[in-house]
Structure 1
Amino acid sequence: MTLTIESIRRYPVKSMGGEALERVPITSRGLEGDRGWAVVDADGKFASGKNSTRMRRYDAVFDFTARTGSDGEVLVAPHADASAERAAGDPALNATLSDAFGTAVSLEQESYVTLPGNFFDEGAISLVGTATLEWAERELGATTAARRLRANLVVSTSEPFEEETWLGRRVRIGEVEVVVEKPIPRCRMVDLAQDGVAEPAKFLKGLAATREMRLAMYCRPKLLGSIRVGDRVEVR
């Protein structure tokens, strides 16, 4: 079976809903513009679905979606009201977010945050196979699994977990090359209504029982360029 890129998805703001793309440049950091912004509170922690040394749980973040305008500007709106879309940097957007979060927050670029690291959890690019998604929907009832996993790249595959066999290997995608680094540990976020998925699920319990709460793979960019939907995927 010839492997190809089935879909590309980018998340301009960490934990918010994202955008489908036909093409995206790959930089040393990952997908250009992916998680370049985050909602940051008064303590400098950024909004996520969990607590950690860098993140703070704010489920209100899942009520918003973000996209990139034609001029590269990041635009944010509540899922329930696209007409309320505002640009990153607009004080009115920070006021809307603060009201929704119940505390003072602001939308900030990664370069302005003082905590170490970046807005990624553990890896730059997430990748999952279509056969794995079909397994998750069939065996665990995880509808819209790709959205719940927040996968950047979906690759056509013939066997569930095929992408796990690529661990440590180089994968050529069109003009880009990535190294497959590790499985992705999952948390409560996969069960939440998010990224256009209206209903919560019980996905995590099934992953804990069958997959040690791991699904999909993190990849690191090695050879830069652009990835397009339909690009051939070659495992080396």
Structure 2
Amino acid sequence: MAEIIGVIERLWRYPVKSTGGERLESVEVDARGLAGDRLYAVRDSAGRFGSGKNTRRFRRMDGLLQLGSRLGGRLDRPELLDPLGRPVADPDAYLRAHLRREDVELAREGSVSHFDQLPVSLLTTATLDWVRRSAPTAVVDERRFRPNILLRTPPGTPPFVEDDWFGREARASNDAGARLVFVRSSERCVMTGAPQTGLPHSPEIHRAIAQAHANRLDVLAEVGAPGLLSVGDTLALH
């Protein structure tokens, strides 16, 4: 028997990795994830992608979180938005000036994935409310955690309920509902408290997560079957 775990309250995609995202009412999902999510990234001359951290694939580029991006109905080229939310005419030139780097450009994903880990992330309101209680002096918003899905859970749902879903599959309630296979949670870093548009520097957020839940928060998923996700859909475990 299916177990309803919540209702999709908000959907987010991030057309340019590490920039602010766009809210959607509905989105197609395929094996790669939400259509257009992290499809583009800021790439440097060494082939590394702009991020909040340094790894073999990623290069820390402070300032990206102050920018936004959107696709609308197009996947061929995103709009890059300045800190006031205005589209910029020449994304590459703007990025070089904004980041103070001459070797960067906007690039579409090729053979190397732009995802840090798995393609879909989900955060519950139960866990987000726990963060608010645990860091009462911080401005807490789901944008700090960059989920694709914010799931409204029933009253009384405990925080970190996402952990209970590892290894299970959920389906959206619409007729063409996508299926998601929950795998594990994300390991968080200081970027959860990094300043971005409308959100000041709040390091206490990361400290709370580190102390209470070993730096982990949300649930990451693979796509079990392509389909549609829409605001207002219920998600049910099968």
| 2:28–2:227 CA contact under 8 A, matched in 1 | yes
Q: Confirm whether residue 36 of structure 1 aligns to residue 39 of structure 2.
A: yes
Q: Confirm whether residue 74 of structure 1 aligns to residue 69 of structure 2.
A: no
Deviations 1:166-193 (A, max 9, x none): 1100111131111000011001211112
Once the 2 structures are TM-superposed, how far is the Cα of residue 85 of structure 1 from its aligned partner? Answer: 2.5
Match of 1:57 among 44, 56, 60: 60
| 1:178–1:220 CA contact under 8 A, matched in 2 | yes
Match of 2:129 among 128, 134, 141: 134
Match of 2:150 among 147, 154, 172: 154
- Counterpart in the other structure of 2:93: 95
Alignment partners' CA distance in 1, 2:151 and 2:216 = 18
- Counterpart in the other structure of 2:199: 198
Mind listing any 5+ residue stretches in structure 2 that lack a counterpart? none
Alignment partners' CA distance in 1, 2:82 and 2:109 = 22
| 1:185–1:215 CA contact under 8 A, matched in 2 | yes
Once the 2 structures are TM-superposed, how far is the Cα of residue 206 of structure 1 from its aligned partner? Answer: 1.4
13-22 or 93-102: which moved more?
93-102
Deviations 1:153-176 (A, max 9, x none): 011122211121011001111311
Match of 1:18 among 4, 17, 21: 21
Alignment partners' CA distance in 2, 1:189 and 1:197 = 15
Going from structure 1 to structure 2, the CA distance change for 1:210 and 1:218 (only over 3 Å counts) comes to same
| 2:139–2:200 CA contact under 8 A, matched in 1 | no
Amino acid across the alignment from 2:202? A
Moved over 4 A (4+): none
- Counterpart in the other structure of 1:143: 139
- Counterpart in the other structure of 1:179: 181
Alignment partners' CA distance in 2, 1:227 and 1:5 = 8
More strand by share: 1
36-45 or 202-211: which moved more?
202-211
Deviations 1:196-219 (A, max 9, x none): 333111211111111110000100
Going from structure 1 to structure 2, the CA distance change for 1:179 and 1:71 (only over 3 Å counts) comes to closer
Q: Identity over aligned residues, as a percent?
A: 33
Equivalences, count: 225
Alignment partners' CA distance in 1, 2:21 and 2:219 = 19
| 2:5–2:237 CA contact under 8 A, matched in 1 | no
Mind listing any 5+ residue stretches in structure 1 that lack a counterpart? 87-91
Amino acid across the alignment from 2:164? T
Amino acid across the alignment from 1:29? R
Deviations 1:21-64 (A, max 9, x none): 00000010000000000001111111111100010111121221
SS in 1 for 2:63: helix
